[in-house]
Structure 1
Amino acid sequence: MSTKIITRLSQERGHADHGWLRTFHTFSFASYSDWSHEQFGCLRVINEDRVEPRTGFGTHPHREFEIFSYLIHGEIQHGDSMGNKEVLKRGDVQMTSAGTGIRHSEHAHGEEQLHFLQIWAMPYQRGLQPKYYNRRFTDEEKTNKLAMIVAPATAPGVTDTREGSGPTPIHAHLYVYASLLSPATAVTHTFPKPANASSPATKAYIHLIQKSGYNTGPAKGGKILLTGDGQTMELGEGDGAYLSSEAGKELKIENVGDRVVEFVLFDVDAA
């Protein structure tokens, strides 16, 4: 089976400007609906949000989702019905395993705009006890390498504690990597075994973070080139791509632009 690369261009995502919140939706979310982009494996939401200072999402409920935030710029103030209250900064990955139900709020803290990815995944088991986790990953840990920032709670090296070292636990078949890639530099990712042993392919998704601003037109800023099985595809900031391939095959990710780029790579439904 050959590697497949299908682009999800930035200007084709759902987007909205609410004044206090400017956002892009990779998958159907809120008032944005597109049957061809509902979810990808267990991955249900990738929202790239910019929240103005002293504003945010008031207290609201969730259940049966694994919800996490990847902080890009600014600070986020979190509070929830489990008693967790804290301010998170760049480098932090915050995970809420909603399970049977939680309520939480998220606000931009301080005087700077908050820029973060809000990501939801569907759990591999329903009815779990709600839990909250926080991990920190420095820019150095992500520079010119793929840093594993999220992994299944049962995977080797993952500690099921609120804070700790290693990847952030998630109750889903999902691994997430983050990278800061310098110009003319490349990293290689090997497709893992799928969680479903009868599946011939493993799926992944890559998103190039939109560091150059809230651009509703064609992608601007940094660029990466994806190469796998002889196929190539160039992505700009805000662009993403659906990926599928056999376990063991490799994907090369190369920075072909003039600035450092930041991206996240999701191994979706991986064992």
Structure 2
Amino acid sequence: MSPSKSIQIVPRRSPERGQADHGWLKTFHTFSFASYHDPRHESFGALRVLNEDRVAPRTGFGTHSHQQFEIFSYVISGKLEHQDSMGNTEILPRGALQMTSTGTGISHSEKANGPQEVHFCQIWAAPRPGQGRGKPAYFTRYFTDEEKKNRFALLVAPDNSAEVSLNREDKGPAPVRSELRMFASLIHPGISLVHVPVGNGQQKKGYIHVVQKSGHNPGKAGGATLRVGSQADGPQVELREGDGAYLSYEIGAELRVENDGQGVAEVLLFDLE
């Protein structure tokens, strides 16, 4: 019998993330961002930014510019109002995934629309070599809770893969000019999911993040509880809302994610080269 394939799991605890409370914005940073700098947490594979933001009603980020990075927003609750220099204006509800390939440069604003706080994850990915100075592009996708219920739904995939269409109206995953795939799931209590990482690399990386739906809490994370480990018998790591973990897969390893808590866990999972 061949030996079991394992996964190295390094937790990134919620209270250890960079954090700031600006009144209108309450935010956590998984990686170094703005005034938060930690050389141990700069990036992982193509994943450069994973911010969990809460923006107060009728406030937000004014017009500002970006270039080169792939930037996408995953809306958890409330409505995110987006405007940009390409002429795109949208109000994005829960379930929306908005992708901007900033390329040679764009300007945009993001605000909370209406009387409710907007809670979303802002994610940046580094483009593949030679792809950072392309023409800017914009895509929006919508995914229902049912599509994510007890399965890993593919929300973002490389633009050169067979999984995506460059048609803006397509209902498949949003295209990214990067070696990154992003999945989302709503895992109900007692459910265990298995994920096989996708990609061509011989040594796979990944990152998992449990959305902090229990509210802004700079202290110990609460809410749903996951157990994350390899499909084979081996060590497991407990993750609560706001926690994440770096993943390094041996070739052939499979990830098991089990919800052994009482609430539904909303999970983002990244496959990285």
Instruction: State the TM bucket, normalised to the shorter chain.
Output: over 0.9
Alignment match, 2:60: 56
TM-score, normalized by length of structure 2?
0.95
Moved more, 186-195 or 50-59: 186-195
Alignment match, 1:44: 48
Alignment match, 1:209: 211
Q: Is the 8 A contact 1:3 1:231 kept in 2?
A: no
Displacement of 1:246 in angstroms is: 2.3
1:117 matched to 2:87: no
Displacement of 1:194 in angstroms is: 4.2
Matches within 5 A, 1:58-73: 58-73=62-77
Alignment match, 1:165: 171
Matches within 5 A, 1:1-271: 2-124=6-128, 125-195=131-201, 200-228=202-230, 229=232, 230-269=234-273
- Unmatched segments (≥5 aa) in structure 2: none
Q: Is the 8 A contact 2:14 2:218 kept in 1?
A: yes
The alignment yields a C-alpha RMSD, in angstroms, of 1.0
Which secondary structure does the structure 2 equivalent of 1:141 belong to?
Answer: helix
Structure 1 distance, partners of 2:187, 2:120, is: 18
Displacement of 1:141 in angstroms is: 0.2
Structure 2 distance, partners of 1:160, 1:30, is: 32
Q: Is the 8 A contact 2:157 2:163 kept in 1?
A: no
User: What whole-Å deviation, never above 9, does each CA across 1:48-71 have from its counterpart, x for those lacking one?
Assistant: 000000000000000000000000
Q: Is the 8 A contact 1:148 1:176 kept in 2?
A: yes
Which secondary structure does the structure 1 equivalent of 2:32 belong to?
Answer: coil
Structure 2 distance, partners of 1:193, 1:116, is: 27
Which secondary structure does the structure 1 equivalent of 2:15 belong to?
Answer: helix
Structure 2 distance, partners of 1:68, 1:11, is: 24
Displacement of 1:45 in angstroms is: 0.2
Q: Is the 8 A contact 1:193 1:247 kept in 2?
A: no
User: What whole-Å deviation, never above 9, does each CA across 1:89-135 have from its counterpart, x for those lacking one?
Assistant: 01110000000100000000011000000000001122111000000
Displacement of 1:154 in angstroms is: 1.3
User: What whole-Å deviation, never above 9, does each CA across 1:148-184 have from its counterpart, x for those lacking one?
Assistant: 0100111113111223211111110000000001000
